């Protein structure tokens, strides 16, 4: 998993509340478990004017010109600004996969659905909760300033605007440790690899029949 320390990126505003996981990545794309290749289908029903299908070449599909990610000023955005209850609905892990594969590294919102919030950390995507009034101010600044970028510093737990204004955010120490070091669940386990090996060897010596000895 990619480590996250500090990121400065262009902000794209997703100006709607209760964006659910089916909106983030529709159900027809859930057959694959590769974690990659979902970027072209992120927000598929909003992004295109036709209905997308798995393994379809999206480069020739008709785009919805009103959708934010199709606007030239937000091309290559890597910070998504959203409204409350982002990521609600079903618990599909494909949602953070799609956001990450598109190029987003952080999502800022007043609130997130719990399962989506947890899945983000497990897949290297940083969800940031800021006060609703702060988020509203950021929406206004993004709209007013083309090329608007935010600097997200996980180590300092701050979001910094182009004007230098800083907003702090809370994050669990364990989740922060994992993201700073690029550790998913397997990576966290492997931090204790030597102790695990020592325990297994101890068990092998104490109870060899459990490991097939003497058969």
pTM for the structure as a whole: 0.87
Q: What is the DSSP track for 171-196?
A: --HHHHHHHHHT--HHHHHHTTHHHH
* Spatial contact of 150 and 189, defined as CB atoms under 8 Å apart: no
Q: What is the distance between the alpha carbons of residues 184 and 188, in angstroms, rounded to a whole number?
A: 6
Mean pLDDT along residues 125-146: 98
* CA neighbor of 175 nearest in space, from 110, 214, 122: 122
Instruction: State whether residue 1 is helix, strand or coil.
Output: coil
Question: Residue 179 has what pLDDT?
Answer: 92
Angle at 99 between CA 147 and CA 44, to 5 degrees: 95
Tell me the mean pLDDT in the region 207-213.
Answer: 76
List domains and CATH numbers for the chain: 6-183 (3.20.19.10)
Q: Which of these ranges, 52-61, 64-73, 98-107, 142-151, has the smallest mean pLDDT?
A: 52-61
Under DSSP, the state recorded for 67 is S
Q: Is 33 or 83 the better-scoring residue by pLDDT?
A: 83
The arithmetic mean of pLDDT across residues 14-29, rounded, is 96
Give the residues across from 108 on adjacent strands: 81, 128
pLDDT, tens digit, 9 for 90 and up, residues 27-62? 999 988 788 899 999 999 999 999 999 989 999 999
User: Beta strands 106-109 and 126-129: pairing type?
Assistant: parallel
């Amino acid at each position: 998993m990619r480590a996250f320390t500090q990121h400065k990126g262009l902000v794209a505003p997703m100006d709607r509340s209760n964006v659910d996981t089916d909106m983030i990545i529709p159900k027809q794309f859930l057959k694959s478990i590769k974690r990659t290749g979902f970027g072209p289908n992120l927000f598929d029903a909003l992004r295109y004017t036709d209905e997308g299908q798995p393994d379809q070449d999206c480069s020739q599909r008709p785009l919805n010109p009103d959708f934010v990610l199709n606007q030239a000023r937000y091309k290559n955005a890597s910070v998504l600004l959203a409204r409350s209850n982002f990521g609600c609905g079903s618990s599909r892990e494909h949602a953070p996969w799609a956001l990450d594969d598109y190029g987003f590294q952080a999502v800022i919102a007043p609130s997130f659905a719990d399962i989506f919030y947890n899945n983000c950390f497990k897949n290297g995507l940083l969800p940031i909760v800021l006060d609703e009034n702060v988020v509203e101010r950021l929406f206004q600044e993004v709209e007013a300033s083309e090329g608007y970028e935010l600097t997200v510093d996980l180590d300092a737990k701050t979001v910094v605007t182009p004007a230098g204004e800083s907003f702090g955010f809370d994050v669990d120490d364990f989740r922060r440790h994992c993201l700073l070091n690029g550790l998913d669940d397997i990576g966290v386990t492997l931090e204790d690899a030597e102790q695990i090996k020592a325990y297994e060897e101890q068990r092998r010596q104490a109870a060899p029949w459990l490991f097939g000895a003497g058969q």
